[in-house]
């Protein structure tokens, strides 16, 4: 029986779903994969809970009742003293700062699985140095959920690149939030601000919807894919169409944005009126490997195309390669949501376990 020991950082939507999915799948993984997943440490931004044996379904109450303020050093000392092997740190945070701990974790014997995109979108120097450290210590770093949640986008592009299949272009509806917004807006007789409010109420957007509308999250995902294909690009080099007017941007308060978000309505109504009968608006990220250009923008799409036929909060990706020619490989499905992202992280954990002794 192979055993992996996970230290989970982040107990928000994705982290919580992941723990519950591990608990539900634990017996099946033992029987079918010969794999035991142990969760000796669960930590949020301020509190950690240690448990020597397998975590139970009561983990939330245990974290609340028996958790304690911690430093990273406390966790590293604990797993070392307990002699845990096959250590994997799971970063289910969205923290800009937590990735600064990656090198220390690797030095302490951890592999890393991350839903957090930050490490892969920092400077090229940070990106390269992290991979050098992983190589030096013979450790793995898996992050399939950085792009497309549970969809196999990163792995597909990586395999093409490794086997010398020339990828010429990648286009995608990367954001489940913006997918829902424009799918709904183009199909229903509602104002843009009404659809935006509805998307927020359903939990599709960030608490501050300007995070989604800015296009920066899509740009980060585009950068991750570009780097997988060998492009040496920085975030600042990406052309991003910001959908938030200057008077409503981050220089003003969120309250001011919500008070005046109807200012968005005439902008998008004009775009909608300019559509042909068989066209819809979609928010896409596009990577041109021949020119090295990375673009995040609104486009018009035929209703019958892979992007135009999207529904709800689904994502779709078109990958153009030398072998596929003019007909792209299309990967389509749920591209957002805590459950599918957590399932993607669990898949990464199982894939990583296969590589370990």
Q: Which residues are marked as active site? A: 221
Question: Distance (Å, rounded) from C-alpha 124 to C-alpha 315?
Answer: 27
- Contact status, residue 185 vs residue 281, Cβ threshold 8 Å: yes
Backbone angles phi, psi at 233, to 5 degrees: -125, 155
| Alpha carbon distance 343, 81 (integer Å) | 31
Tokens of residue 69, six digits: 């303020």
Q: Please list the residues that pair with 7 across neighbouring strands.
A: 41, 89
From residue 168, give the alpha-carbon distance in Å to each of 34, 305, 339. Answer: 40, 20, 32
Distance of alpha carbon 175 from alpha carbon 112, whole angstroms: 24
Q: Which helix (H) or strand (E) holds 98?
A: none
Residue 336 has φ and ψ, to the nearest 5°, of -155, 165
How many CA atoms are closer than 13 Å to the CA of 142, on its beta-carbon side? 24
Structure tokens at 185: 């807006």
CB neighbours of residue 276 within 10 Å: 9
């Amino acid at each position: 029986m192979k055993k992996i020991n996970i230290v989970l950082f982040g107990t928000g939507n994705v982290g919580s779903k992941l723990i519950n999915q591990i608990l539900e799948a634990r017996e099946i993984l033992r029987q079918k994969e010969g794999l035991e997943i142990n969760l000796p440490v669960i930590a949020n931004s301020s509190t950690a809970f240690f448990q020597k044996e397998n975590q139970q379904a009561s983990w939330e109450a245990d974290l609340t009742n028996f958790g304690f303020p911690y430093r990273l050093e406390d966790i590293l000392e604990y797993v070392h003293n307990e002699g845990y092997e096959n250590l994997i740190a799971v970063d289910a945070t969205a923290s800009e700062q937590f990735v600064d701990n990656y090198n220390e974790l690797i030095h302490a014997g951890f592999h890393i699985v991350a839903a957090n995109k930050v490490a892969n979108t920092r400077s090229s120097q940070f990106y390269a140095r992290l991979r050098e450290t992983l190589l030096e210590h013979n450790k793995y770093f898996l992050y399939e959920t950085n792009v497309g949640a549970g969809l196999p986008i990163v792995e597909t592009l990586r395999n093409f690149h490794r086997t010398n299949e020339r990828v010429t272009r990648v286009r995608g509806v990367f954001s489940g939030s913006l997918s829902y917004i424009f799918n709904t807006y183009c199909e229903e007789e509602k104002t843009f601000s009404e659809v935006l409010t509805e998307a927020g109420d359903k939990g599709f957007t960030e608490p501050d919807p300007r995070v989604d509308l800015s296009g920066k999250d899509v740009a980060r995902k585009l950068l991750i894919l570009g780097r997988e294909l060998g492009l040496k690009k920085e975030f600042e080099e990406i052309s991003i169409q910001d959908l938030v007017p200057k008077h409503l941007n981050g220089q003003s308060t969120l309250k001011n944005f919500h008070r005046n978000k109807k200012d968005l309505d005439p902008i998008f109504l004009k775009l909608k009126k300019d559509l042909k009968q068989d066209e819809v608006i979609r928010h896409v990220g596009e990577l041109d490997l021949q020119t090295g250009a990375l673009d995040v923008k609104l486009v018009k799409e035929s209703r019958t195309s892979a992007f135009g036929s999207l529904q709800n909060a689904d994502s779709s990706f078109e990958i153009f390669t030398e072998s596929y020619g003019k007909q792209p490989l299309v990967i389509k499905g749920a591209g957002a949501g805590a459950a599918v992202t957590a399932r993607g992280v669990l898949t990464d954990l199982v894939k990583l376990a296969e590589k370990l002794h």
